[in-house]
Amino acid sequence: MPKNDPIAIRTGDRLALSRALTLVENDAEESRALLSALFPFTGKAHLVGVTGAPGAGKSTLVNQIAKNLRQGKGQQAPKVAIIAVDPTSPFSGGALLGDRIRMNDLAGDKGIFIRSMASRGNLGGLASRTAAFVTVLDSAGFDLIIIETIGAGQAEVDIASLAHTVVVVEAPGMGDDIQAIKAGMLEIADIIVINKADRPGAENTIRSLQIMLEMAQGKSGIAAIKGKHALERSPAIKREEQASKLDWVPPIHSTIATEGRGIPTLIEDIHRHRQYLLHTQKWEEKETVRLRCDIQTLIRDTLLTQWWEKLDENKFSDILADVVQRKYSPEEAVEKLL
Amino acid sequence: MTNKKIRVLIAKPGLDGHDRGAKVIARALMDAGMEVIYTGLRQTPEMIAEAALQEDVDVVGLSILSGAHNVLVPAVIEKLNENGLTNIKVFVGGIIPEPDISNMLKLGVTAIYGPGTDTQTVIADIKQAIQISNS
């Protein structure tokens, strides 16, 4: 069977799909033409990112979301693809991909496709080819693509430019409220989930997150008061105020993913966020951001590969030796090399 | 330019609940630079073949300590074939009595490992089996 038959991929041949993902992941030469053949058929899927600290319960939550989306809906149920990213060891280059352990509930359902992906040295919480995986799965007709990042800390926010809807999963007792103010995770959240809500301290975590979110919205709160005072004088401000009511306020959900508690309302909000994006033209904005990032990454990788291929290795090692001897700085070495 | 990595599915079919061996081998293969997918305990042959299909693995490693290998191994191989995965190399680890080994090999199992096997042996065998099938 040909590995790179775009028609087989688009018509639901799961083996063709799986092998295409491998080609794309390995950045095989034929994968670029394949992606170009598939790209015109993309743009329909809702891309949902799930991120959060290791052990917060991301995989269990993804399992429940997918199960709930499919259950009892027969032919109407959306087709769901899951990309589960886990870290590659920087020492061996190997990886242990264990997200499927939590997703055994989904076995046997042909409307679900799960693929584990090693980060292969990429920082930012995703693999460098995750965006290309999305292209392949979108063209294969999956309505919803869930992207589970590696266990993320404070800077793994690549998911924000890839997904339409970012779900940030937290667990109780993961640090004080200053952690919540810091840059990173919460800034990218469209929906916040406090999982393991039966654990002690869950209420405190929810409360401090609520306070932080209110603080973040404080600015627009002041603007709204200003608008109210000015209301009678200027209809333009009234329109502005109405527009600001359409702004998305990230809802906080508490869930117990192992028992499936809190999942249906979470799914409602995932759908609601999609509607919000479509009604406010933010969907196109997000698409533009995502594809710009995609092109930029491709340009960077392509230029870098071309440059390394043309590089005289002896020249490089000579200059490196000089840098080690403190004859030049790394900055001067770059000037000599480029 | 390709960046091919060996992908391995480590699976525990059947009902025995001891996965220390599976975890030891998963860790060793990861340290050898492979991408190892571990799916947890109590997998049916259908689940294993489905995971192998979705993950496009080169190797499936089955860990069986329950004594049900004469049923489970043929069932897994049958399901792999049904999914069109005839190229996948199947390795078996666990407690497999001597008289059953030749039958397992006849079914298409690449190698069988008992307790005390050096993980380096397994790594070398996997690399060799992949090399042969790629050449």
Determine contact: B78 vs chain A, CB below 8 A: no
Determine contact: B43 vs chain A, CB below 8 A: yes
Residue A62 pLDDT greater than 50, yes or no: yes
pLDDT of amino acid A332: 95
Q: Give tens-digit pLDDT for B16-41.
A: 888 999 999 999 999 999 999 999 89
What's the CA gap between A53 and A196, in Å, rounded? 13
Determine contact: A114 vs chain B, CB below 8 A: yes
pLDDT of amino acid A61: 96
Which residue, among A13, A80, A92, A97, would best test binding to B if mutated, counting the most B CBs under 10 Å from its CB? A97
- The 3-state secondary structure of chain A, one letter per residue: CCCCCHHHHHCCCHHHHHHHHHHHHCCCHHHHHHHHHHHHHCCCCEEEEEEECCCCCHHHHHHHHHHHHHCCCHHHCCCEEEEEEECECCCCCCEEECHHHHHHHHCCCCCEEEEEEECCCCCCCCCCCHHHHHHHHHHCCCCEEEEECCCCCCCCCCHHHHCCEEEEEECCCCCCHHHHHCCCHHHHCCEEEECCCCCCCHHHHHHHHHHHHHHHHHHHHHHHHHHHHHCCCCHHHHHHHHHHHCCCCCCEEECEHHHCECHHHHHHHHHHHHHHHHHCCHHHHHHHHHHHHHHHHHHHHHHHHHHHHHCCHHHHHHHHHHHHCCCCCHHHHHHHHC
pLDDT of amino acid A179: 64
Sign of CA dihedral A121, A97, A124, A91: negative
Determine contact: A94 vs chain B, CB below 8 A: yes
For B12, which residue in chain A has the nearest alpha carbon?
A101
B-contacting residues in A 287-316 (Cβ below 8 Å): 305
pLDDT of amino acid B1: 42
pLDDT of amino acid A70: 94
Helix (H) or strand (E) segment spanning residue B64: strand B59-64
pLDDT of amino acid A142: 97
Residue in B2, B38, B55 closest to A115 by CB: B55
pTM, two decimal places = 0.89
Instruction: Determine, for residues B56 and A18 on separate chains, whether the beta-carbon distance falls below 8 Å.
Output: yes
Q: Give tens-digit pLDDT for A295-338.
A: 998 999 889 989 999 988 899 999 999 999 999 999 999 999 98
Instruction: Determine, for residues A96 and B43 on separate chains, whether the beta-carbon distance falls below 8 Å.
Output: no
Instruction: Determine, for residues B56 and A21 on separate chains, whether the beta-carbon distance falls below 8 Å.
Output: yes
What share of chain A in percent tops pLDDT 70? 86
Contact status, residue A85 vs residue A130, Cβ threshold 8 Å: yes
- Cα of A79 to nearest chain B Cα, Å: 15
**What would the two tokens of residue B127 be?**
């690399």
| Cβ contacts of A94 on chain B, cutoff 8 Å | 5, 29-36
Instruction: Determine, for residues B36 and A94 on separate chains, whether the beta-carbon distance falls below 8 Å.
Output: yes
Mean pLDDT of all residues belonging to chain A: 86
Instruction: Determine, for residues A94 and B30 on separate chains, whether the beta-carbon distance falls below 8 Å.
Output: yes
pLDDT of amino acid A173: 75
Instruction: Determine, for residues A101 and B38 on separate chains, whether the beta-carbon distance falls below 8 Å.
Output: yes
Residue B132 pLDDT greater than 90, yes or no: no
Residue A140 pLDDT greater than 50, yes or no: yes
pLDDT of amino acid A133: 97
Which residue, among B29, B39, B60, would best test binding to A if mutated, counting the most A CBs under 10 Å from its CB? B39
Q: Give tens-digit pLDDT for B38-95.
A: 998 999 999 999 999 999 999 999 999 998 999 999 999 999 999 999 999 999 999 9
With a CB cutoff of 8 Å and minimum separation 6, the contacts of A64 are: A105, A255, A257, A260, A263
Instruction: Determine, for residues A96 and B39 on separate chains, whether the beta-carbon distance falls below 8 Å.
Output: no
Between A and B, how many CB-CB pairs are < 8 A?
90
Determine contact: B19 vs chain A, CB below 8 A: no
| Cβ contacts of A114 on chain B, cutoff 8 Å | 51, 54
**What would the two tokens of residue A62 be?**
């993804």
pLDDT band at A3 (very low <50, low <70, confident <90, very high): low
Longest dimension (CA), chain B: 46
| Cβ contacts of A19 on chain B, cutoff 8 Å | 56
What's the CA gap between A70 and B55, in Å, rounded? 21
Helix (H) or strand (E) segment spanning residue A45: none
**What would the two tokens of residue A86 be?**
């886990």
Determine contact: B11 vs chain A, CB below 8 A: no
Residue A219 pLDDT greater than 70, yes or no: no
- Cα of B100 to nearest chain A Cα, Å: 30
Determine contact: B34 vs chain A, CB below 8 A: yes
Instruction: Determine, for residues B47 and A108 on separate chains, whether the beta-carbon distance falls below 8 Å.
Output: yes
